[in-house]
Amino acid sequence: MLFFIILSFLIGFILRIIPLFSQGFWLDEAASFHLAYNFSPWLSFFKPPDIDNPPFYEILLHFWIKMFGISYYTVRLPSLIFSLGTMFMVWKIAQIFHKKLSSYILFIMAISSFQIHYAWQARMYSLLIFLSSLSLYLFIKFVSKIFNNEKINKKEILIFSLINFLGLITNYSFFIFLISLGILVLFIFKKRILKVLAKYKQSFYLIIFLHFLFSLFIFTFYFLPRRHMFFNNSLWIKPPNFSSVILLVNTLANSGTDMFLNNPQLNFLSLSSFLVTGIFFLFFLTFNFPKKLKLLKQVIFTLFFIPIIIAIAFSLLTQRSVFIPRFLVFSNTVFNLGLGTWFFLLWQSRKSSKNKLIKRISYFIFLILFVLNIRNNWFLNFNSYSFYILPDYKRAIQSLKNSITSNDRVIVFPDYAQPLFNYYWQSFDKNKIVDDNFTKTIYIYKFKDEILAEDYWRSRSKQIIVDVVDFCQQKKFDQLYLGEMIEILQCKVD
């Protein structure tokens, strides 16, 4: 058993470290690095420079950079550490229910394409997954103590509340996770809820009070100063529709590669993956769980579907769509819990003569989900020629740098692309730089708050070209397009 645990951690580490070194830095990572490097951590705590995200990850990254220096390897390492920490916490969650079960779930977490995808990126999502897993672990410990009529001490409540506060200042989607936990409490205790609240009223009052204070802090310092932005349409996230619902479920179940859902399109594979995932949950729901695993069954089913339902409702009721996998990362964690639990129960009952046909179908469904996960790992994390892999900025910038002359001026925009450009620019042979002025960036286009996302995307290319032509005084210029939201142009100037 110990050998299998160590092997699972080793497999998980290897599968996460390979894309960390092989995949190029992309624009969102550059934005995180830019915020972490250029803003005061103390000022950022009360006035986040990023409208879309709270500042906790960037504050951590700021001090990490101070200690370990700047390279896209070191900037990505915290995400790897948090991902391995998530594997450990999910293993601990499983151990609460059954020690042998934890080994199955640990292996599923190790090879999860979704978990690996965020383990190598310098973004806050790996931290978000870790904090939600840690919170879920303490939540289950609380519920177990209530079932056993044990006392919940204040120290545990303070730790639980602090973790949730860190989650809230990591990403606003942590609110969805906490609301789902609240709904889960109602599902677990049902008619007993009033008796439980009466018996543990001091603990519940303290938890509610602390979370109210944390929410008030976020409302005061993060929401109110930018309230006009919170319910505007996201830059590129489309409102949920039938196609995006199917693709979201696939992605959170490790069987879809549509991590962004900005252009949801169904095909035979995505529909088949959704059908297989649906059959899995149907079998999972109807499977006869042992008594000590019934709580885990409620946790898995509730925390997978309730966040999706909340995201759909919020996105339909407001203009701010939160309906993408990266905001619902905790649903993938509980799916992996469910998949590992399901296989564990199937394996434990393999010698039983009951329901042989259903067991064979179940093994077949598990095999399909396993193969889909392997396929997605290739597309999302390891295939450098895939559509899903991020642009190779390093190669493009190197090509640009090799072609410049003393009469050229390099223009980079938008402004948060500057760290990405400067990092790769400085990493090449400095003898090829004819003039140090080339490393300075000129911002000729910045996104304005009042421009809607659709207008921005429609006009972006034309607007950029107009601005550049005007800046270059109608002189001849060469364009090097890198994809995403960055363009680097080489302009001939007098």
Residues 370 and 401 in one domain: no
Helix locations, 98-200, DSSP H: 99-111, 113-119, 125-147, 154-168, 174-189, 193-199
Q: 196, 161 in Cβ contact below 8 A?
A: no
Do 299 and 404 share a domain, yes or no?
no
Q: Which of 320, 354, 382 is the last residue of a domain?
A: 382
Give the pLDDT score at 53: 81
Contact 78, 60 (CB under 8 A): yes
Q: Is residue 388 part of a domain?
A: no
- Residues 348, 424 share a domain: no
Closest CA to 485 of 19, 16, 30, 5: 30
Residues 293 and 405 in one domain: no
Boundary of a domain, candidates 382, 409, 443: 382
In a domain, 143, yes or no: yes
Per-residue pLDDT, 216: 93
User: What 3-state class would DSSP assign to 479?
Assistant: strand
Residue 120: phi and psi, rounded to 5, are: -110, 0
Could you give the strand order of the β-sheet that contains 487-492, starting from the edge strand earlier in sequence?
Answer: 408-413, 487-492, 477-481
H/E run at residue 487: strand 487-492
Among 382, 406, 424, the domain boundary falls at: 382
Handedness of CA 222, 223, 229, 233 (dihedral sign): positive
Together in a domain, 316 and 431: no
**Shared domain check, 175 and 80:** yes
Whether residue 177 is contained in a domain is answered as yes
* Number of domains the chain contains: 2
Q: Examine residue 38 and state whether it is found in any structural domain, yes or no.
A: yes
pLDDT at 465 (0 to 100): 35
Domain carrying residue 437: 393-492
Are residues 260 and 355 part of one domain? yes
Report if residue 387 sits inside a domain.
no
Query: Would you call the peptide bond into 225 cis, given omega within 30 degrees of 0 as the criterion?
Result: no
Q: Is residue 372 domain-shared with residue 402, that is, in the same domain?
A: no
How far apart CA 481 and CA 392 sit, in angstroms, is: 11
Question: Which pLDDT belongs to residue 339?
Answer: 93
**Residues 370 and 488 both lie in one domain:** no
Distance CA 372, CA 366 (A): 10
CB neighbourhood size of 423 (10 A): 19
Is the residue at 284 inside a domain?
Answer: yes
Tell me which amino acid residue 76 is: R
Amino acid type, 26? W
How far is CA 486 from its chain centroid? Answer: 22
Is residue 351 assigned to a domain? Answer: yes
Supply the pLDDT for residue 28: 78
Strands 487-492 and 408-413: antiparallel
The pLDDT averaged over each successive group of 10 residues in the chain (494 residues) is 90 93 75 79 76 86 88 88 97 93 94 94 95 97 93 93 96 95 94 89 92 92 74 65 89 81 77 90 84 92 95 82 87 95 86 75 87 84 53 61 58 58 56 34 32 37 37 36 41 41
pLDDT of residue 376: 85
Residues 216 and 364 in one domain: yes
Do 344 and 426 share a domain, yes or no?
A: no
Q: Which residues contact 113 (CB under 8 A, 6 or more apart)?
A: 254, 373, 374, 376, 377, 380, 381
Best CA proximity match to 172, nearest among 311, 269, 69, 289: 311
Q: 50 and 35 in contact (C-beta within 8 Å)?
A: yes
Burial environment of residue 50 by CB neighbours within 10 A (0 to 12, 13 to 18, 19 or more)? middle
Tally the C-alpha atoms within 13 A of residue 75's C-alpha that lie toward its C-beta.
Answer: 25
For 412, phi then psi, to 5°, come to -125, 135
pLDDT at position 362:
84
Under a CB-based contact definition with an 8 Å cutoff, are residues 35 and 134 in contact? no
Q: Do residues 135 and 167 touch, judged by C-beta distance below 8 A? A: yes
Query: In whole angstroms, what is the distance from residue 126 CA to residue 453 CA?
Result: 27
* Judgement on whether residues 374 and 424 belong to the same structural domain of the protein: no
Residue 22 domain-assigned?
yes
Indicate the Cα dihedral angle 38, 43, 44, 47, nearest 10°: -130
Give, in order, the Cα–Cα distances in Å from 280 to each of 14, 251, 343.
Answer: 28, 15, 11
Q: In sequence order, what are the residues at sequence separation of 6 or more whose Cβ sits closer than 8 angstroms to the Cβ of residue 405?
A: 434
User: Nearest 5 degrees, angle CA 206-CA 210-CA 216?
Assistant: 145
